[in-house]
Structure 1
Amino acid sequence: MDRDELAHFLRRCRARLEPSAVGLTAGARRRTQGLRREEVAQLTGMSVDYYTRLEQARGSHPSRQMLTALARALRLSEDERDHLFHLTGEEPPRETSSSLHVRPGLMMILDRLHDAPAQVMSDWGEVLAMNAMAMALSGENGPGRNIIRAYFTDPAARAIAPVEDQEGHARSHVAQLRAVLAARPQDPGPVGLVAELCATSEEFAALWEEHEVAVRRSAVKRFIHPVVGLLELDCEVLAVAERGQNLIVHSARPGTQTYERLQLLRVLGLQDFTPQLP
């Protein structure tokens, strides 16, 4: 691991990013060029102290998960992401199956959706990026979770959906995985997830045997937020250039009660609310 080169690269990438480019407000009396260290730490989910040590060439070896988070937070291109991995002595990810790298241009679009919950997700449930509204709606503090795994292994993950909708969400998740696995039978991500859930969730295993197939499409979804209440949102699923990725945007129709509640949620911002979107 080349600590000096890594530190220099991180400082340069941080300095070139303006707060507005990642959905943050610059504020008054800002002396730092680009992002502050604490802002990068916030975007990656690491401690400020650990990130500071990386920039000072005295940090411990970051995990591959942390390198991926840094690449997303600093809006690195694929070549820059690979360089980041090489500086730590790691082999860069090779996208032989579904891509888990979110392009900087797509991240910019996500950041500019200030009033609508939006996220980039793989077609097998990996949350790759979220904007502030999506985090406020779901109670998550950033990407890194698989919503299908959470739905079948964490009872709290279902609490965001009305009870009468939960069976439909479960069937939708399983049917989506069926379609993905048929299209990419050698993709280790969805293959491993199906094997894991068949072994750990009786409900998933039973639904899997029914062999329902359906691709995730636009729909109307209902969410229960612990503060603003029931939200009935239009869910648009937009395919992006990267293989196996979708941009998912939730919106409310102006003049509806849900629209007013969504505006209130925007004002409330992030709190310690409930888990992931169904």
Structure 2
Amino acid sequence: MNAMTFSLRRLGRKALACLCALACLVSLAACGSDAEAGKIRIGIKFDQPGLGFKKSGTYVGFDVDVAKYVARQLGYSEDEIVWKEAPSKQREAMLQNGDVDMILATYSITDARKNAVSFAGPYFVAGQDLLVRKDDTSIKGPEDLNGKRLCSVTGSTSATTVKEKFANEVQLMEQPGYAECATALFSGIVDAVTTDDIILAGLASASRGKLRVVGKPFTQEYYGVGIKKGDKAFAKKINAAIESMIEDGSWQRAVAENTKGTGYKPNAEYNPPKPTEGE
């Protein structure tokens, strides 16, 4: 064996070792995704009482109930759902990156968002409203916002609406979640929290009577199921599931159960909606 042959064999062994090491890394990565194989990954909010809320390792709320129903209609049992937190400003990226299969997280259907993702639904129509402290009578509707301090969530349509409609009248504080907004309201840092009425109803319920919804909605927010852009076949299946949920009464029961004690009733002019988006 000459020196060149020996060197080539050594290089071959090194290359083989590198390939083996790479294969091991790939295998480990695959093992990490094995836990989600054969399951459906659904993005929801973890911090919205009444809609999407993580509670002692379980998930509850109207969005969660709709997601479970849709998943069941798609052939997935409850233990085949992987729940993932979907903060407002991360929703488009989660769908584009393939981190989730669908998102039900008070996700309003807008033309701007449809440039990045597609939607099924809508499965609910909310209206932007105001949440105030129980004893505050100075805010009876959006006409009373001049000089007031508002809180909403970064990346939400509610924050965008405030900037567009009330930019010269209010001071807007943006927070990562509505729990932080509610805390700011409790402590007097802001005068009101603004977002969709059904979200505010959940926050009011969790406050045990310390906060109340004004009850003067000034927009319509069509909640959709976010999916990867262009997947019309998936949208059609989801829409059929939502239609079935409305027809068999499960939708109505889910709304009632998740807003119990708040006095909240969805606007009957728009609800329940006709799910035709994305087909």
Higher RCO (CA < 8 A, seq sep 6+)? 2
TM-score, scaled relative to structure 2: 0.23
Structure number with higher strand proportion:
2
Structure number with higher helix proportion:
1
